[in-house]
Amino acid sequence: MSLDMRKILLLYTGGTIGMVKDYESGALKSFNFNKLLKHIPELNQLDCSINSISFENPIDSSNMNPKEWVKIATIIEENYSDYDGFVVLHGSDTMSYTASALSFLLENLDKPVILTGSQLPIGDLRTDAKENLITSIQIAALQSKGVPVIREVGLYFEYKLYRGNRTTKINAENFQAFASFNYPHLAESGVHLNVFTEYLLPRRKNKSLVVHKKMDENVAVLKLFPGINKSVLESVLQTDGLKALILETYGSGNASTADWFLNSLKKSIENGLHIINVTQCSGGGVIMGKYETSSHLKQMQVINGKDITTEAAISKAMYMLGSGVSGKHFKTVFETSLRGEMH
């Protein structure tokens, strides 16, 4: 190994990339990824020293939860000084949630943490896994003047690197499974690997990594729809222990102006519930007060989620509640971009 060879840690959490077909049932299930890696000789051609670890019991990412997020963040913390970059292999279903959560848990991150996965298993003839994995490793190894180029949590899929907390899974079929509607991609792989440095998070000099380990799960999401009734709304608002509600509204943050609706929200806010206005549109964001149908929400101090994704809003709320941000400051902190997750 040459002295300046980058050291990369690969962490397999589960997902299609390392799955094999159960020939009896035909369903995809997790496999021992370390064994599988031996079947990718291409990795030896990379000018990197790669170590890999795997969750003891790899999971389909539909089983991902905040405890696993903290586990991933802790593994990164424990190996932080020994590696130049980290690649987290993850199922695509909830990858955007994990990428968002990690961005909040890893404060002052100064090295790349790249999440990737695939739509087809790595052993499949037509797999998208090899390109995703190999380019993710190359991105995690990129340095300029001895400093990592990417110093944030990214998500790499089908030739594009995105800011993780800006992504959403948009397709269950296409290799291009992710999009970042409200923020440009950070890098693109073609004949050359082009990094768009102007979109990267600025370097936070002289700040060391702080790994947060508390996520408060007392959060819910309610997507509005024409015809939603009082009992549905009330049953969500009265959920035991609920501390924050992501309200997925229409268009630029609009909602019904019916008295029963506004009164219920108002009462809950007065009782200390944080209600966050996030648009159910894929692109664009909330502009409270633009229409009459959002001015009432603004008046009652509903939190402006601006152009944040629902995935990032959920993990941001869990992180802030877990960090004990007080009721008084919650709105101001939420409306501030902490990791480039909103404008």
- Nearest-approach distance from CB 91 to ligand ASP, in angstroms: 2
Neighbours of 40 (CB within 10 A): 14
Q: Which two tokens stand for residue 258?
A: 């019916």
Select 128 or 248, whichever has its Cβ closest to ligand ASP: 128
Q: Tell me: does residue 165 bind ligand ASP (CB under 6 A).
A: no
- Confirm if 216 and 322 have CB atoms less than 8 A apart: yes
Catalytic option among 13, 16, 135, 168: 16
Half-sphere exposure of 111 (CA within 13 A, CB side): 23
Total residues interacting with ligand ASP, rule: CB under 6 A? 11
Select 64 or 245, whichever has its Cβ closest to ligand ASP: 64
Residue least distant from ligand ASP (Cβ) = 91
Contact pick of 15, 58, 112, 340 for ligand ASP (by CB under 6 A): 15
Select 100 or 252, whichever has its Cβ closest to ligand ASP: 100
- Nearest-approach distance from CB 120 to ligand ASP, in angstroms: 9
Q: Tell me: does residue 61 bind ligand ASP (CB under 6 A).
A: yes
| Distance spanning both ends of the chain, measured CA to CA | 43
Residue type, 195: V
Residue 316 dihedral angles phi and psi, to the nearest 5°: -65, -40
The footprint of ligand ASP on residues 171-230 (CB under 6 A) is none
Q: Helix, strand or coil for residue 82?
A: helix
- Nearest-approach distance from CB 182 to ligand ASP, in angstroms: 23
Q: How far apart are CA 147 and CA 159, in angstroms?
A: 23
Active-site residue flag, 310? no
Strands (E), the chain: 6-12, 19-21, 28-30, 48-54, 85-89, 106-107, 113-116, 143-144, 147-148, 153-157, 160-163, 168-169, 178-179, 187-189, 193-195, 210-211, 219-223, 244-249, 274-279, 303-304
The footprint of ligand ASP on residues 100-159 (CB under 6 A) is 117, 119
- Nearest-approach distance from CB 134 to ligand ASP, in angstroms: 18
Contact pick of 58, 91, 112, 253 for ligand ASP (by CB under 6 A): 91
The footprint of ligand ASP on residues 276-335 (CB under 6 A) is none
Quick one: how many helices (H) and strands (E) in the chain?
9, 20
- Burial label for 190, CB within 10 Å (0-12, 13-18, 19+), is exposed
Select 127 or 138, whichever has its Cβ closest to ligand ASP: 127
Select 66 or 117, whichever has its Cβ closest to ligand ASP: 117
Q: How far apart are CA 327 and CA 169, in angstroms?
A: 32
Q: Tell me: does residue 249 bind ligand ASP (CB under 6 A).
A: no
- Nearest-approach distance from CB 99 to ligand ASP, in angstroms: 13
Contact pick of 68, 72, 92, 185 for ligand ASP (by CB under 6 A): 92
Which residues are at the interface with ligand ASP (CB under 6 A)? 14-16, 60-62, 91-93, 117, 119
Q: Catalytic positions, please?
A: 16
